[in-house]
Structure 1
Amino acid sequence: MAEPAERRPRPQCPREAEHGRAPRSAPPAAPRRAPGPGPGPGSGSHAGSRLGWEAPPPSAALLDCPRARYLCTARACCQMVEALLGLLILVCSSVSYGSAGGYTGIPDLGSIYYYQYGGAFSGFSGPDGVRARELDAQFHRMKLPIARASMAVGGALMALTLLLVLLGALRLPWRCPAWLLLECVLDVLLALGLLPALYFYFHQLQTVYASPLCKEREQLYQSKGYQGFSCSLHGADIAAGLFGCVAALVFALSAGLAVRGFRTVRRLQEKPAHAYEL
């Protein structure tokens, strides 16, 4: 291997020789940096922060979709609460629809239920047992129309509000702002329509509980020492009515949010990037 040639000294400038100064030497070369390992998996965020931005976390990738952003708006939250209230009305109404009621309902299943729930020692034997079964069946048939109507109302409210959530996620209010006015009118009609529906619901229940059939059934059960079959509103009946009242308030609030969304659409027609604010 050949030896490197010796570096020759730079010739002295005449002016430097005149003043007796030594010739200037070249600046030393900067040492070469050895190549290091590449950037690690976590260095992307540090590089991004040096450039003025930060990489979004993986959990925020879902919210980048405009359809998912709609679920975080006030209108979507109101609509999901309306769907939940419709489901609760449906569940509470199905309690009256699915069971014939009465103390003889569960022991009728036979076998261990007959003894476990006191059917063998209930005192309903002979003519009293037959009459109790007849009263339970007739009382159940009297409450069936009310239960069916309330179940239909709860199911319709739940299906309608879920449809509105789907249309909002598909950005229909942004493509057709008039849909928001139609939605406002629909919410107002539902909020006002629930008020007479609640009156009809409680009026019919009071009619059933005030009937001679219910009084006879109550007296029969009281004669055997049972106090849980009085002719008054039960917990499921009251819960369904309360959920209906809350649903009316939420629909009224949703109507106001629809009007605000219509104004927002008019103001942001030139800024489609902010359409998720609806």
Structure 2
Amino acid sequence: MVEVLLAALILVCSSVSCGSAGGYTGLPALGGIYYYQYGGAYSGFSGADGERAQQLDQRFYLLKLPVARAAMAVGGCLLVFPCVLILIGVLRVPWHFPALLLIECTLYIVIAVGTVPALYYFLHSLLTVYNSTVCKEREQLYQSKGYQGFWCSLHGAEIAAGLLGCMAAMAYLLSAGLAIRDYRTVHEQKQKPLQL
């Protein structure tokens, strides 16, 4: 259940990165968070500055979109895996096929080890986006109009997604150990003669 919770939190935190394309983007997006927070999209801008701000927001959004989608895909996969294992456990499949627990242990280790380069890619890609000229120009444009909150640095949800990814890797390593323990327990129970 801890793995399910961590995966769900990773999915939510990573989805924040692609939450808004900036400015008023239509009714389904509800205009984005900045539209309401700052009293109207580009309310301090007029003419060419407003168009430039909108263009920079769109370009910045498109730069972050692949990273956010990849993180959401990983979060979704991490969410499905423990759910399937819970279902297998409820159906008592490991009792009939104890070798399945060894496969489970191997998958846990592979996922835990694979999480490390995935976290590196996630954070490195975000830092690349934040160090881009698009982000720097966008930050300067908004600061020139007195807007705050458009800094070119990781925000809380992205940092939280990274920390949750680290916690998930540790949880998977712990689960690998538990799978080995369960395999030994099932193997010992099957070796005992039935008592009537």
Scaled by the length of structure 1, the TM-score of the pair is 0.64
Map of 1:216 onto structure 2? 137
Map of 1:139 onto structure 2? 60
Identity fraction in percent = 63
How many Å separate the matches in 1 of 2:173 and 2:193?
Answer: 29
**RCO greater where, 1 or 2, for CA within 8 Å and sep 6 or more?**
2
- Paired positions, count: 190
How many Å separate the matches in 2 of 1:212 and 1:241?
Answer: 24
Once the two structures are superposed, residues 93-144 of structure 1 have per-residue CA deviations (whole angstroms, 9 ceiling, x without a partner) of 111223114xx3489968xx97884228831111111111000000000001
Structure with bigger helix share is 2
State the Cα RMSD in Å: 2.4
Q: Call closer, same or farther: CA 1:88–1:120 in 2, change over 3 Å.
A: closer
Map of 1:44 onto structure 2? none
Gaps of 5+ in 1: 1-79, 274-278
Alignment of 1:231-242 (within 5 A): 231-242=152-163
How many Å separate the matches in 2 of 1:208 and 1:150?
Answer: 15
Tell me, yes or no, if structure 1 residue 251 matches structure 2 residue 169.
no
Map of 1:50 onto structure 2? none
Alignment of 1:143-222 (within 5 A): 143-222=64-143
CA apart distance, 1:267: 1.2
CA apart distance, 1:169: 0.7
Task: Name which one, 1 or 2, has greater alpha-carbon Rg.
Answer: 1
Once the two structures are superposed, residues 187-211 of structure 1 have per-residue CA deviations (whole angstroms, 9 ceiling, x without a partner) of 0000000000000110000100000
How many Å separate the matches in 1 of 2:37 and 2:151?
Answer: 24
Q: Which of 107, 113, 118 is the equivalent residue of 2:39?
A: 118
Gaps of 5+ in 2: none
CA apart distance, 1:85: 1.0
CA apart distance, 1:230: 0.7
SS in 2 for 1:232: coil
How many Å separate the matches in 2 of 1:92 and 1:105?
Answer: 22
CA apart distance, 1:156: 0.5
How many Å separate the matches in 2 of 1:254 and 1:115?
Answer: 44
Amino acid at match of 2:69: R
